Structure formats: structure tokens, C-alpha cells
Amino acid sequence: MSAPPAAPLVRIRPESAGFVARLSELLEQRELLLFLAWRDVQVRYRQTALGVAWAVLQPLLSMLAFSVFFGGLARIPSDGLPYPLFAYCGLLPWQLFAFALTSSAASLTANERLVTKVYFPRLVLPLASVLAGLVDCAIAFVLLLPIMAFYGVRPGPALLALPLLLLLALVSAVAVGLGLGALNVRYRDVRHALPFLTQLWLFVTPIAYPASLVPERWRPLLGLNPMAGVVEGFRWALLGLPQPPGALLAVSAVVAVLGLLLALLYFLRVERGFADVI
């Protein structure tokens, strides 16, 4: 065995290391992050009859239901777009958000054995479950293309903004997921509140209806829900709407980033006690 390189010094103290030190530790552990995300993807559809088709079926069936009841019977407007396309385009980022939120909020308690038996930056767990959600999103995205072709809708140059919008959806999901995940370690109330919360959140997000239903001057308020900005942004970027949802999107972005910061600070503050209370 070769001589070990200059042995690093680890100081274990009652107070935790600084914010920056811990984020850089997370960066060092990116391999573990990817492994855990890979595990979640591998495991999700094992022993299911339909397998990965679920990733497409969920938004597709939601789209059908929305189109029949909201678009068809309730005649909810859709900014002049074919309603199914309008709904699917909103459901895409929503499914990503809802999945990432639910799985990251549960990630710490679901991996209790890891938390109590191994050391690693705990941030890895909720982040890995968000990453795993991206795979489903990518699969569901593939179905969007034939739907768009069917309706003869083609995206404009705004398509270039899509990665940023995707990032915004992820930032929003991570913010809520980190906060709720950390809370869930101590208060299992979160587990009960979560399905209800996501359902409520779905209604306040302009997925089945367009943001334009809200009077123009109140519309930026809708952006306080970061997913409103994401969904409207997705439609603008993908479906070639003329007007970008400017103010709405800006408010959403600010809220999401602030939310992420707050959630991160809370998470890092309570992280060290996870093994004691989980």
C-alpha cells in the first residue's frame, strides 16, 4: 500500500461547519448524488407491468381528463391554443414539480437507514430525488412533439428560454422539497399534509386555465406561486405565444430563488440533528 497523501484534518465540534464549506462538500459528493438518483430511477418502475410507460401515461391521462371536463364541458379558454396541447404543456413542468416535491420531501425519512448509519451531506438525498424526476420529465417531453405536430404548432425562438424555465421549476421544487423534507424528519405531519398540499397547489397554478383569466394588474401576484411563472413560461417558450409572461415570470423567479435560499439555510441548520430525531 502506498503512503497515504497528506491526511486531511476533520474537526468534529458541537457547532457545524460554515455554509460555504458544506456546499463545497456537497460538490465533492456529486458522485454519490448521481448514484442515488440513478438508484431512484432504477427502482421506480421495477416490478411494474407498464414500466416506464407510466412516465407518459400520467400526464397523458391528466391531459385527456382536463380536455374533456375543463376544455370541453366547462369551456375554459386556452389562449387560442388547442386545449389538449395547452393542458399537456402545463402538465409537463407540473408533473416534474409535483414529483420532485413529493419525493424530496419524503427522501430523508425514506432513507432513514442511510441517515442513521452513514455520514454524507444530507442535501444529497432530496437533490437526488429531484434529479431522478428529470428522467420522467424527459420521457413525457418526447410525447409533446407528436402532439405539437398534430396541431401544427411550432415553437419560435423563445424555445431557447426553455432550459432556464426548467431550472426555475427545479429551483422551486428543491426549495419546497428541502424545507418540507427537513420538517418531515421531526414532524411526520408533513407526510399527511403533502398530498393535500400538492392538490391545492395544482389548483392555484394556471394549468387547466390560462393566467390571462386573472385581470392584468393582478397577474404578477399569481407569480408569487413560482409554478405559475414556470407553466406560463413553458407555454410561451414551446407554443410560440407572442407575449412573454414578463412580470409574472420575474416575480416567480425572485420568489423561487428566495425560497431556495431560505430552505437551504433551514436545512443546513437542522441537518446535523437528523440522525438523532429521525
Binding site for other proteins (CB under 8 A): 1, 4, 7-14, 16, 31-32, 35-36, 39, 42-43, 46-47, 113-120, 183, 186-189, 272-273, 275-277
Closest approach of other proteins to the CB of residue 16, in Å: 7
Closest approach of other proteins to the CB of residue 2, in Å: 11
Closest approach of other proteins to the CB of residue 19, in Å: 16
Distance CA 8, CA 22 (A): 16
| Burial class for 40, CB neighbours closer than 10 Å (0-12, 13-18, 19+) | buried
Closest approach of other proteins to the CB of residue 9, in Å: 6
Cβ closest to other proteins, residue 116 vs residue 199: 116
Cβ closest to other proteins, residue 46 vs residue 75: 46
Closest approach of other proteins to the CB of residue 39, in Å: 6
Helix (H, G, I), strand (E, B), or coil: what is residue 35? helix
Distance CA 104, CA 234 (A): 23
A 10 A CB-CB count for 276 gives 9
Cβ closest to other proteins, residue 185 vs residue 207: 185
Cβ closest to other proteins, residue 165 vs residue 190: 190
Cβ closest to other proteins, residue 44 vs residue 235: 44
Distance CA 158, CA 234 (A): 9
Distance CA 277, CA 158 (A): 47
Provide the b/e sequence for 175-196 (b: ≥16 CB within 10 Å). Answer: bbbbbbbbbbbeeeebeebbee
Cβ closest to other proteins, residue 257 vs residue 275: 275
Handedness of CA 146, 199, 213, 221 (dihedral sign): negative
Closest approach of other proteins to the CB of residue 183, in Å: 8
